[in-house]
Structure 1
């Protein structure tokens, strides 16, 4: 979906449980479109839909994203940066020294609840839209809003566990009285929203609608929600509806790309493997004074090697970056001889040793950087602060991921997994794409395949937590089992409200 956001109603109106229960915005009616007078036309309703989508790819003014926060916390990456004090919020994730005052926990809470708020406002207002909005269009918008609300709540409940369940606009005199729901109730609502959305979402979305949710995307998210709750059979069934026959184009138009490297071609947006995509562009003119407010992808400069200098014509045209998310030696050793290595890893160590480039050995340097999102001179924007306006999209969910999740759900549900079984075909379709031989369907093989296939895509930390392995795999970074599986609720949400800190973080909830 195009992200030139015209909508200012949900973005700029009043306080809500998003950035803080106590914050209010003073909206000048001469300068802003008021929420009370918006949604008067079909075009205004559509910009409201766009605004909900826009929050999926939200980036903070402090260069925080969901991806770099949890990548820094995983065993695949370090926070990196120029020094141990650079980008402190990422360092606190890397070292597990975050607190309820950390910027990362506030950012993720705000990101999720802004999305929930926008979806709720849209759902509330859409019933009052003009007759010019046809029943079919209205039903689709409602379905999109519910599915998006489910996606935001899925992140919120996984990251914080104890969150308010808000299903409509909160009245002014109720702002401070909102309480948290039981996690089981939040999951129940997520399931209900996705289930309700599926019949009214299209099977495919192409052309000018590319990037909007489809019924297949909702099935995939529901399968993932079931997987997280260990509802193995239900998860496998949802994924089967989405994945169809492995290796063939399914009902929803999805098919594995033939070439793994094509997934990271900046021009290859909305390809056949993309199920939910975070959309960015090079035209929003974002600058250093308004980072996070535009539509450029900041990952391009974040993951690039610091003080990068090409020395020969053989040097890649990387943009000098900030050395964020360097790849750990452990992961490099695992992927080094895998066919996915080159499209995944920017091997500055080898380039430097060959005299092709120089770069600064910054904090936690390993010599291995993220190739998937590396900013290049050839992909820089033509306008604005060029380093901040990369157009590289990123995947929230793609088909290889859902193939592997279905294989896991089948295995753990007790289904057949031998040669020729559906689980076997699914797992090995991912391997066959990169010319690797088949392997048996075991948890060890699934875990290894997910790690190699999905490097730097924001999945590893969540996988370790749901597999119960984070306490072991991340202990050297400071992870404490029974605590760090969730983040603390931001301190700003606790004062003068009924929201309580989780027990894992010293609270009573």
Structure 2
């Protein structure tokens, strides 16, 4: 624990650059006593918390969760280990250390700003102060939600730790979810309700009232499903979740991009048809940039992109990568004829005419299918732009899409307002098929979960959707009996779907931290 929290104060807050509002100049090293005086100081501290969102690599929850789900195998090279361990649920010391450090660093920075912001002289500008407070609470909730989903029992830290006070016991998950819900409610109340069309382009990537409400809906559905609870204590109820999601749907200004394939640069019909890095469907979008220009310490590129790229070769229009998270062919074949989401989501080596040019090389768990949505492209690749394909891929990641919000609305309203739930589902399916003739009559939650599988495929949501349906449902989906050892996957229900806590953190805590069951 000590390594996570010690010496992550204000020093070098802005040593990295990113898109939009994160593109600021570095500052000189200063002491904490000289900081947190002006609104500019508070803004820089806020940006330092946002910058942790860019930390990826093996700390990318979207990638590790995809591999742990039924949608992907580990992939990578035949000598790679980490991805295969997520796929098969095999213990590997410190496999999740990057994620643990990432999230607690973000929590530390958010906590520090929350602690110090009253010392900042905003000269009566309460609106700006309240916004910064709301965004800091949003980020803390975001980081904690990823942590508690991955690890279950985690230390609950709501203020910067003092020297010598690093051995914090793990909290009951109920307490963590109460903090998350309260943080997001505060964020929604403090961040202005600016509709999407009115958001300045330089502020893309900042948390909005709508992002807080949408994340509240996601947190509610996961917590109540995974833990079989009616609500988040007395903090957030089913009615609250419905109201939050309805507000996003009706008042945020976000909407579905007309054609599904134009959501993603790799699947867009053309560069002019691509909806853009910050389009009307991205309710909350993490910003990435190539401006690290080959310096991996900048941590501003989308590292997941190089990991999922086709291994070690360029197949125009796709650029090279490491071949992680090969797609399970059952996902590809599960789509109905005419569903545009199939070919917009997945690269089929044979289906796209690469059978004669593709070289399998040392690709592990080759299935013939790769993730398309965020795969790097040959056109305007990081190398050509002066960076490195290893560190500087730059496609933004849509954490929450408006289609996801519609499906959350359908799920939440299923019992209370079946007609409304049906309408939300219809909007998603109509876009997917390009007509209204493929609608289905909505009668149960299973149909919504299946629609989520097709709509949100390979975006990092499937594993959590399975877990909140129960261990039996997760096992039925994830188990992959195969005579080929590389593809034989058995979901271990004794872990309850939780990841292993990094051994280094357990050791640093002097035994205060306890490993999760099954690991």
For the residues of structure 1 that align with 2:207 and 2:76, how far apart are their CA atoms?
Answer: 35
Give CA-to-partner distance per residue, 1:480-505, whole Å, 9 cap, x none.
11314111222222234463314514
Residue pair 1:52, 1:118 contacting (<8 A) in 2 also? yes
Partner of 1:449: 451
Residue pair 2:506, 2:513 contacting (<8 A) in 1 also? yes
For the residues of structure 2 that align with 1:118 and 1:24, how far apart are their CA atoms?
Answer: 11
Alignment of 1:131-142 (within 5 A): 131-132=122-123, 134-142=125-133
Residue pair 1:223, 1:235 contacting (<8 A) in 2 also? no
Deviation at 1:47, TM superposition (A): 1.4
Deviation at 1:298, TM superposition (A): 2.3
- 1:298 is aligned to 2:331: no
Name structure 2 gaps, 5 residues minimum.
13-26, 225-229, 266-273, 481-488
Deviating more after overlay: 257-266 vs 166-175: 257-266
Partner of 1:392: 395
For the residues of structure 1 that align with 2:355 and 2:84, how far apart are their CA atoms?
Answer: 31
Deviation at 1:102, TM superposition (A): 2.9
Structure 1 residues 31 and 393, CA, compared in 2 at 3 Å: closer, same or farther? closer
Give CA-to-partner distance per residue, 1:29-54, whole Å, 9 cap, x none.
99733333222332221111111112
Deviating more after overlay: 234-243 vs 130-139: 234-243
For the residues of structure 2 that align with 1:41 and 1:26, how far apart are their CA atoms?
Answer: 17
Structure 1 residues 300 and 226, CA, compared in 2 at 3 Å: closer, same or farther? closer
Match 2:185 to one of 195, 198, 207: 195
Match 2:110 to one of 110, 119, 122: 119
Give CA-to-partner distance per residue, 1:135-190, whole Å, 9 cap, x none.
111111011101111111111111111111111111113223x2222111111111
- 1:78 is aligned to 2:73: yes
Partner of 2:223: 229
Structure 1 residues 133 and 33, CA, compared in 2 at 3 Å: closer, same or farther? farther
Partner of 2:506: 494
Q: Secondary structure at the match of 2:143?
A: helix
Partner of 1:283: 291
The number of residues matched between the two structures is: 465
- 1:405 is aligned to 2:398: no
Partner of 2:270: none
Deviation at 1:121, TM superposition (A): 0.5
Partner of 1:273: 281
For the residues of structure 1 that align with 2:238 and 2:402, how far apart are their CA atoms?
Answer: 15
Match 1:479 to one of 485, 491, 496: 491
Partner of 1:431: 429
For the residues of structure 2 that align with 1:19 and 1:466, how far apart are their CA atoms?
Answer: 33
Give CA-to-partner distance per residue, 1:386-411, whole Å, 9 cap, x none.
45312201111111111112212223
Structure 1 residues 59 and 18, CA, compared in 2 at 3 Å: closer, same or farther? farther
For the residues of structure 2 that align with 1:406 and 1:46, how far apart are their CA atoms?
Answer: 34
Structure 1 residues 46 and 322, CA, compared in 2 at 3 Å: closer, same or farther? same
Structure 1 residues 201 and 330, CA, compared in 2 at 3 Å: closer, same or farther? same
Partner of 1:162: 153
Partner of 1:313: none
Deviation at 1:59, TM superposition (A): 1.1
Alignment of 1:10-89 (within 5 A): 17=1, 19-20=3-4, 32-60=29-57, 63-83=58-78, 85-86=79-80, 88-89=81-82
Match 2:91 to one of 98, 120, 125: 98
For the residues of structure 2 that align with 1:132 and 1:201, how far apart are their CA atoms?
Answer: 19
Residue pair 1:282, 1:380 contacting (<8 A) in 2 also? no
- 1:368 is aligned to 2:369: yes
Give CA-to-partner distance per residue, 1:268-320, whole Å, 9 cap, x none.
12211111111101222134xx26x331112332222224355xxxxx32112
Structure 1 residues 485 and 19, CA, compared in 2 at 3 Å: closer, same or farther? farther
Residue pair 2:71, 2:328 contacting (<8 A) in 1 also? yes
Partner of 2:120: 129
Structure 1 residues 410 and 134, CA, compared in 2 at 3 Å: closer, same or farther? same
Give CA-to-partner distance per residue, 1:89-138, whole Å, 9 cap, x none.
21110111024x232x2122112111111100011111111244721111
Q: Secondary structure at the match of 1:142?
A: helix
Structure 1 residues 170 and 457, CA, compared in 2 at 3 Å: closer, same or farther? same
Deviation at 1:28, TM superposition (A): 9.2
Partner of 2:313: 308
Residue pair 1:305, 1:359 contacting (<8 A) in 2 also? no
Alignment of 1:196-211 (within 5 A): 196-204=186-194, 205-211=199-205
Deviation at 1:252, TM superposition (A): 1.5
Name structure 1 gaps, 5 residues minimum.
1-16, 311-315
For the residues of structure 2 that align with 1:133 and 1:377, how far apart are their CA atoms?
Answer: 50
Alignment TM-score, normalising by the size of structure 1: 0.85
Structure 1 residues 306 and 28, CA, compared in 2 at 3 Å: closer, same or farther? closer
Alignment TM-score, normalising by the size of structure 2: 0.83
Deviation at 1:378, TM superposition (A): 0.9
Q: Secondary structure at the match of 2:398?
A: strand
For the residues of structure 2 that align with 1:262 and 1:137, how far apart are their CA atoms?
Answer: 35
Structure 1 residues 206 and 19, CA, compared in 2 at 3 Å: closer, same or farther? farther
Q: Secondary structure at the match of 2:512?
A: coil
Give CA-to-partner distance per residue, 1:445-500, whole Å, 9 cap, x none.
21211111111110011111111122222233232113141112222222344633
- 1:358 is aligned to 2:389: no
Structure 1 residues 28 and 141, CA, compared in 2 at 3 Å: closer, same or farther? closer
For the residues of structure 1 that align with 2:393 and 2:514, how far apart are their CA atoms?
Answer: 38
Structure 1 residues 133 and 172, CA, compared in 2 at 3 Å: closer, same or farther? farther
